[in-house]
Amino acid sequence: MLIDSHCHLNYLDDPDAALDRARRAGVGGVLCIGVNQANITRVLDLARRNADVWATVGQHPDACDRDPAWVVDYLDAPSVVGVGETGLDYYRTKPSSEDARRQRESFEFHLECARIRDLPVVIHSRSASEDTIAAVRNFEGVRGVLHCFAEDWTLAEAALDCGLYVSVAGIVTFKNGDNVREAARRVPEGRLLIETDAPWLAPVPVRGRTNEPAYVAHTAARVATLRGIPIGDLSGLTERNFADLFGV
C-alpha cells in the first residue's frame, strides 16, 4: 500500500475528509509531522484518533527562536514514532547569522533526543547541505530520513553514507525537478521513501491545489516510471522502508 511518509494534516481545513480521500486512493498510512509547540496537541490528536496515522514531535528550523526543550515532554505520547521535523534552512539567512546558529543548536538538540530515545529523526535541509551532513556525522548511529529531497545528488549520497533514508515529494513531477528525478532513480531501493509534504508542493497533475495525502499516488507513479518498475512494486518497497525506519 502507499504510505505518505511526511505531511502536515493539522494544516488542512478538513483533515478527516482528507484522510478518507487518501484511503480511497490506496494510501494505507500517514505520518503527521510536528513542527512547533503551538500545534503539537493537534498533531497528536489526529494520530490518537486514527489507527493509520502516526506522529513525530519536533521544532522546525523556522521556529528555532524558541527553546526546543518542550519536545522531550511529548516523545512518549502514543503513536509518536520519530523526532522532528528539524534541520537547517539557510534559504533566507546566512550561515554566519545568529538565526543559523540557533538552527544548528536546535538541530543538535533533536539529534541528541533521537539518539537517546532510539527514534528516527526527520530532517529538513535547504541551502544548508554541508552543515546538515556535518551535524548528522557528529551523532554517529542516529537513523532518520532526509525529507522532501530538493538538493543535488551530492547531498543525497552523503545522507545515504550516513545511513539516512531519502524521501521524494511532488517536486519530482515539476519541470524544474531534474535533480529530484536523478535522486528518485539512484537512491537504493532499501532507502527510498515518498511523501506529499502536504499542504504544500502538490504534484502534477494537481499542481496549484492544496496538497493532501491522496496525492502521494501521483508522486509514486512518477517515481515508479523513473525506476522502471510497476507502481505496485514501488508501493511495496516504500511501505517496507517506512516500516523498517519508523518501526510501525
Q: What is the CATH number of the domain that holds 65?
A: 3.20.20.140
| 3-class state of residue 230 by DSSP | coil
Contact of 241 with 46, CB cutoff 8 Å: no
Cell numbers 540557533 correspond to 102
User: What pLDDT does 122 receive?
Assistant: 98
Q: How far apart are CA 195 and CA 203, in angstroms?
A: 11
SS3 111: helix
Closest CA to 50 of 79, 8, 26: 79
Element holding 19 (H helix, E strand): helix 15-24
Cβ-based neighbour number of residue 175 at 10 Å: 7
Cell digits of residue 228: 522502471
The tens-digit pLDDT sequence of the chain (248 residues) is 999 999 999 999 999 999 999 999 999 999 999 999 999 999 999 999 999 999 999 999 999 989 999 999 999 999 999 999 999 999 999 999 999 999 999 999 999 999 999 999 999 999 999 999 999 999 999 999 999 999 999 999 999 999 999 999 999 999 999 999 999 999 999 999 999 999 999 999 999 999 999 999 999 999 999 999 999 999 999 999 999 999 99
Cell numbers that stand for 62 in this block: 523556522
In the chain, the number of structural domains is 1
Helix (H/G/I), strand (E/B), else coil: 121: strand
Q: 177 is in which domain, residue-wise?
A: 2-246
Question: Taken in order 196, 55, 136, 3, is the CA torsion positive or negative?
Answer: negative
